[in-house]
Structures are given as C-alpha cells and as structure tokens.
Structure 1
Amino acid sequence: MRKADVKVPVTLGVMSRCPDALLCEAVFDKVVAKVGDKIELSLSFIGTLNDTDKDFGVSCMHGPDECAGNVQELCAVMYLPQQQWWSFLQCQNFNGRNKIGTPETALSCAEVAKFSWEESGVGDCAGSSGDGKGEEGVELLKESVQTSRLLGIAKSCTVMINAEKVCVHDGTWKECDNGHTPEDFIRQINDEYDDLNRHLH
C-alpha cells in the first residue's frame, strides 16, 4: 500500500476586499480546478494588530468590513473541505468587493457553496448572524495577521508555494520569476508535488 501523497502547501497572502487579491484568486480558480487535489491551500491575511479596535483587535486596510470578510473566509477554511471553502470565497468575490464581509453576502454564499452556516461550524466561528465578529474567528484573524508578518507577506496578493514566495500582484505582477499565468502556477505546483513525493514511491 502506498503512503498518502504529500500535498504541496500553497498560501495566498491576501486582504478580502483588495482588488489585487480578487484578481489573484480568479487566476487561482483555474489552478485549483486543475491541481486542487495536489495542494493544501490556505489564506494568510494582511492587517495590523490594534488593541483599540473593539470588534476585531485588527485594523484592515479596506476597513472593518474587510476584517469581517477575512474572518468569514478564515472560518470557512477552518471548517470546510478545500473545494467548498474555495467556492464560498469565489462567491464572495463574485458579489463584488464592496459586498465582501457583509452578513447578506456571507449567508447567501453559504447557500451557493452548499453548506449550512449554522451546522457547519462556520457560523459559530464567524458569528451566527454572519457579521464576522465571532470570538473564534476574530482570534483566527489575529493569528493570521501575525503569521503573515512572520512569513514576510506584506503585499496582497502574495503567492507562496511550498513556503517560497513565488509571485506578488500589487497593481501589476511582480517578482514572478517563473511566470504568473494559471499554467505557470500549475507547472510549479506539479514540479513541487513530484519532488515532495519522489521518495514515497
């Protein structure tokens, strides 16, 4: 019996209402469609810890609704299978960035992604009303902001494949030595996947 294959860790350093993040996540939608089963996808959010913010303890560049959107997405990542939370995120984005983080968008996108806001754990985590102010979700956001800082993720969107920063979209694509099309990311993921799993077989 062969060991389970090692998946390639892929992290997107983002802010939920950032135009660069939406563009990046649209590119990655094509990547997930092709190599979703080979990756362990995660989101790392950019913000600033701020003790005076009573709702989130974090300042988000595009305002409190972005903090709420970040929380909703982190809770979805925590409680749902990858394909399902990714559908939720794409639905949020599809509604337009000025709707991301609102309870209406979160609850309607839960329906689109076919999970129960109440029963999945996402609602408990993010706030049952969909406001993104659930205690667990807010803690996840603080941790995520600290992780981004430790990883050196300062720009949304930063793409990391197997802990290496491979590309940044900040107004335009930058620092993308190996390209920035879906095909480029798919190739890099396949190469990493083969490397990680070579010794297993």
Structure 2
Amino acid sequence: MEKLPIHTGDADGSDPENSSNSRRDRSIPPHRIAIAAGFLFCWYLFIKLAPTTELSHGCIKHHAPGSTVPGIPNSWAPDTPDQTWEEYNKQPQTDLVDTKIPLEAHIMSKCPDAQICLQRLVLPAMEQISDKVDFQLSFIASVTNDSSEIKCMHGPAECIGDMLILCAANLPFPPTDDEAMLPQSYPRTPIIRSLGFANCLINEYPRIPEREFVHQCALEYGIDFESLNTCASQQNDEPDNGENGGPPLSGIALLRNSALRSSSLDAKISCTVRLDEKTWCIHDSGAWKDCAQDGSNPQVLADEVERLYAERN
C-alpha cells in the first residue's frame, strides 16, 4: 500500500511534544476581537478578489494521461485527468461492498497536539488500514444551534484552517465546473489526498492561512485550488453542497456541522481519536492519555482495525 508522506517537527524546528499551551484559551480585549474579525473579513476578500493560478480539473492535468500526482496510488485516481462523471460512473464496479470500521480524529488545525496525534498515530496507522476504515477529521470549536457565531480557540485563522481542510475533503472528485448538477453519489476527494492536504497544513500550522502556503499544499495533493477558494469563502451558513440547485459547498456550514458533531460526542480535547464510536486515545498538552490498550502505538491501532474488519466481513 502506498505510504502517506509524514512531515515531522514544527515550523520553527522545535519539537511540538514539548508544547503545553495547545488548549490554553486567552481572554481577548474587544479591540483585538475587532482586529481579528477584520482579518477574517479581509481573508474573504483576498481569496475572492486576488488572482489565482488556473487549476481547472486540478493539478493532475499536468501529468501524462493515466498517471497521477506523485505519491498517490493509482487506485485513488480516475483513469484519465479529464475523466467526466459519466465516464467514471460507467466503469465496472468490481469491488465487493464491505463494512468499514469508523475511525475519527477530533482536532483543531492550529493545535500542536493535533500535529503530534496525526503524525505519530493516525498517519502511520492509515498507511496500513486506509482501505478498511471510514475515516474522517472532525473539528472542535465553540458553536451552538441558537447562533451563527463560531469561535475557534486559536483565533479566526484556525477557523479558516478548519474550513480549508473540511472543504478539501468534501470537494467533488474528479473536479467539475457545476456542482449543482452532480448526483449525491458523485465521489468526493479520496482520503489519501484530503488527509495528506490536512497534514501538510498542520505540519506548519503557524503559517495557516497564508495563501501561498495553502496553494502549495493543494498543489502537492491534487486539490483544486479554485474550488477550495470558492468553498472556504462562501458566507452562506446553509448545510448544503450545491446539490439539487441548493447553495454551493460552504466551509462555514461544514465547520458548523463538524463542531456540532464533536460537541454531541463530547469530544472537547484536540486531539481525540475515536475508533468504532469509542474513544481510543487522546493527546493533550503534550502527553497521551486515556488510551485503550497501548493505544498511542500506531501498530496497535492498525491491528485492532484489522481484527474488527475481519469480524465484520
């Protein structure tokens, strides 16, 4: 199985294991809140109005027909870079339907604990069991059903990082120009791409949401940058994805739903890993805790997934 590239170390060269302030929330004076809100608004204007590199059909169009972005297994990509949904849907479906094991990580995109958790547990395990799990990244933020407000512990930039990762995971794949015409069964970004993109951002989380940095990570993992911009800059808070003539895929709506999910599951610590709907292991303030078995060991996690998968298939 193709390995997921694993970046290690913090952006400044320090070891994130020694960081103890990943969950510390600070009181912010009103004028700084206004500045932060202005920053978020300027980001929306920036990604809407600034010129972008043309990435129609994603970065895979720069490769020869039948090839894929380096590091991406062929089984995750369409047969040709410009393959349409109709062509994709006509392909014979030879894979048997199987029961995949739920695996989920609840994180904050600018949290050092999330970086350690992904790189030392989730990614090494996923190299072995990505085809046997139903994996998703969920995000932790302050949100309620009674208000449209969303607050992220590490500020508005973290909310943007969360939205970018959620948008990348939910974009149509292969890319299309008209999301509103897509059937619900249209595939979304393969996990090996979306998780690689998430790790690329979180590996240098202090740089989120620098435009050039986000663009570089999107290019590396074959994420259509223009579509990513459109999703992250949507200010519509409706939980839709452009289907049936509804509003287009919205990063704000995705983050709201994700944060509500984390809250409903009482996942309040970044990073909390859940396997088969139960807490598997938590990394908090630089240390592993509340782990099942030797849960911080990626091989133990992979072995448990293999066991559960064999039982159910």
Q: TM-score, normalised by structure 1?
A: 0.85
Query: For residues 95 and 164 of structure 2, what CA distance do their matches in structure 1 show?
Result: 37
Query: For residues 144 and 310 of structure 2, what CA distance do their matches in structure 1 show?
Result: 42
> Structure 1: which 5+ residue stretches go unaligned?
128-132
TM superposition shift of 1:122 = 2.9
Show the 5 A alignment for 1:146-165. 146-165=260-279
TM superposition shift of 1:44 = 1.1
Query: For residues 194 and 163 of structure 2, what CA distance do their matches in structure 1 show?
Result: 13
Bigger RCO (CA 8 Å, 6+ sep): 1
Query: For residues 48 and 109 of structure 1, what CA distance do their matches in structure 2 show?
Result: 27
The answer on 1:76 being equivalent to 2:168 is yes
* Secondary structure in 1 matching 2:307: helix
Cα deviations by residue, 1:137-159 (Å, 9 ceiling, x for unpaired)? 00111111111010110101000
TM superposition shift of 1:169 = 0.7
- Which ranges of 4 or more aligned residues in structure 1 deviate by more than 3 Å? none
The structure richer in helix per residue is: 1
The structure richer in strand per residue is: 1
TM superposition shift of 1:50 = 7.1
Show the counterpart of 1:93.
202
Q: Is the 8 A contact 1:6 1:196 kept in 2?
A: yes
The answer on 1:29 being equivalent to 2:123 is yes
Aligned length: 186
Q: Is the 8 A contact 2:144 2:260 kept in 1?
A: no
Q: Evaluate the alpha carbon distance shift between residue 20 and residue 2 of structure 1 in structure 2; reply closer, same or farther with a 3 A threshold.
A: closer
The answer on 1:122 being equivalent to 2:228 is yes
* Secondary structure in 2 matching 1:48: coil
The answer on 1:104 being equivalent to 2:220 is no
Query: For residues 131 and 158 of structure 2, what CA distance do their matches in structure 1 show?
Result: 29
Cα deviations by residue, 1:86-143 (Å, 9 ceiling, x for unpaired)? 111121123x22112333322111101123212xx4332113xxxxx65410011111
Rg bigger for which structure?
2
How much identity, in percent, do the aligned residues show? 30
Q: TM-score, normalised by structure 2?
A: 0.56
Q: Is the 8 A contact 2:129 2:302 kept in 1?
A: yes
> Structure 2: which 5+ residue stretches go unaligned?
1-93, 172-188, 237-249
* Secondary structure in 2 matching 1:160: strand
TM superposition shift of 1:184 = 1.4
